[in-house]
Amino acid sequence: MTGRTIVVTGASDGIGKIAARTLAGRGADVLIVGRSPEKTAAAASEIGGRSFVADFASFDDVRRVAEEISNSVDHIDVLLNNAGGTFDPKNRTAEGHEPNVQINHLSPFLLTHLLLDRLGGSAGSRIVNTSSVGNLGGRIDLQDIAFDASSPAEFRAYCTSKLMNIGFTYGATARWADRNITSVAVHPGAVRSNFGHDNVLFRLIYRTPLKYAMSISAESGAEPLVALAADRSDAEISGIYYSRNSARGRVNGQIDKPGIVDGLWTESEKLVGLA
């Protein structure tokens, strides 16, 4: 992968850090994006990559880091949108939105748009969106995609944001194929990490022996991210939702209903200030 430039968000720890380290070890120029300045700098130093700091709970932070990245590289071969997690819906973002939707969907959506000038072209680019099997429990309300007028349960908000990741992948495939950009989404598996540390249900699972029966290591979880980032196959894989290494991930049927993908795209553009 020598000579290839890869941006990995959510790369200060967990599967993002492991994926970044693996890709850097194969010769890629890796740009690491994380929320914590200390952890992100330490990860970049360990991996040999470049560090960029942004809190995805703030669109201003996303705009700033997009400008910093654009000023640092001429072309991005792979954008790995991995930042995210599960968050208490009561802790609204700087813009007042539900945090699962903003951090997991809206901010990656905005970042990708702001980096479009560095994606595609004759060299081509790949967008990899980290989603989840949790998409099956989501439901998108096009009248209120960011739960601005409602108070969802944390699990429902998280699952909905993961369904949005797939919708974003479908929308990007339809809109950016002529830019020589392929887009895929992937469920990396139920990974043992700090994921879900704020959620009572997740804590019950991840802090007991059930953690080992129901989850995989971070190293294993990073494998499909690395595989998709390293893959150079043609556009035929664009728009596919992978469940780890299988191209037959189960997708919530709502995303295939008429108007959902386009409606999600339009409403997302409005909320992030692109329309």
Quick one: pLDDT band at residue 218, thresholds 50, 70, 90? Answer: confident
- Could you write out the three-class secondary structure of the chain? CCCCEEEEECCCCHHHHHHHHHHHHCCCEEEEEECCHHHHHHHHHHHCCEEEECCCCCHHHHHHHHHHHHHHCCCCCEEEECCCCCCCCCCCCCCCCCHHHHHHHHHHHHHHHHCHHHCCCCCCEEEEEECCHHHHHCCCCCCCCCCCCCCCCHHHHHHHHHHHHHHHHHHHHHHHHHHCEEEEEEECCCECCCCCCCCHHHHHHHCCCHHHHCCECHHHHHHHHHHHHHCCCCHHHCCCEEECCECCCCCCHHHHCCCHHHHHHHHHHHHHCCC
Residue 228 scores a pLDDT above 80: yes
Q: Where are the domains of the chain?
A: 5-191+219-270
What digits encode the pLDDT tens for the residues 47-70?
Answer: 999 999 999 999 999 999 999 999
Class of domain 5-191+219-270: alpha beta
- pLDDT at position 52: 99
- pLDDT at position 198: 46
Q: Taking residues 100-104, what's their average pLDDT?
A: 98
Residue 148 scores a pLDDT above 80: yes
What digits encode the pLDDT tens for the residues 186-212?
Answer: 999 876 555 544 444 444 444 444 444
Token pair recorded at residue 43: 């990860």
What digits encode the pLDDT tens for the residues 123-138?
Answer: 999 999 999 999 999 9
The mean pLDDT value of the chain amounts to 91
Question: pTM of this prediction?
Answer: 0.92
Residue 236 scores a pLDDT above 90: no
- Catalytic, 158? Answer yes
What digits encode the pLDDT tens for the residues 244-260?
Answer: 888 889 999 999 999 99
Q: One of 158, 170, 206, 241 is an active-site residue; which one?
A: 158
- pLDDT at position 213: 42
- pLDDT at position 97: 98
259: which residues sit within 8 A by CB, 6+ positions away?
A: 142
Residue 8 scores a pLDDT above 80: yes
Q: Taking residues 148-154, what's their average pLDDT?
A: 95
By DSSP bridging, strand 78-81 and strand 5-9 are parallel
What digits encode the pLDDT tens for the residues 156-174?
Answer: 999 999 999 999 999 999 9
- pLDDT at position 179: 95
Residue 82 scores a pLDDT above 90: yes
Token pair recorded at residue 85: 């997690």
